[in-house]
Amino acid sequence: MQGFAGFMWLLSMALIVFSGFALLDAAVRREDAYRAADKKTKPFWLIILGIAFVVNLLFPILSFLPIIGLIATIVYMVDVRPAIRALPGGGRTGRGSSSDGPYGPWNGGR
């Protein structure tokens, strides 16, 4: 039984790390990138992924709430994240410049 408990603890930690990564990834993406990719809004995904992260911290892995949180995290990782990353600039905050054009930075003819 101790091996099974160790495996379940390891699985629970992996689930916490996975949902934490998704939450941090959603937090660093620009808000307008979600609208441009037509994938709800940034606050919507931050709330959903935040709830999933807290549920994974508080409830055991064999209850149904962490499974629901896992499904929400998987939806973000396989549907929303690739759509946002496919946008120019990858949807990250702080990347690019206001002078960037569709083919790279505009240097004013220099």
For residues 26 and 39, what is the distance between their CA atoms, to the nearest angstrom?
Answer: 12
Cβ-based neighbours of 28, under 8 Å, separated by 6 or more: 92, 93
pLDDT tens track for 66-79? 999 999 999 999 99
pLDDT range class, residue 87, cuts 50, 70, 90? confident
Distance CA 23, CA 4 (A): 28
The span from the CA of 42 to the CA of 65, in Å, is 22
**Could you tell me which residue, 107 or 36, shows the higher pLDDT?**
36
7-40 confidence digits (pLDDT tens): 999 999 999 999 999 999 999 999 989 988 889 9
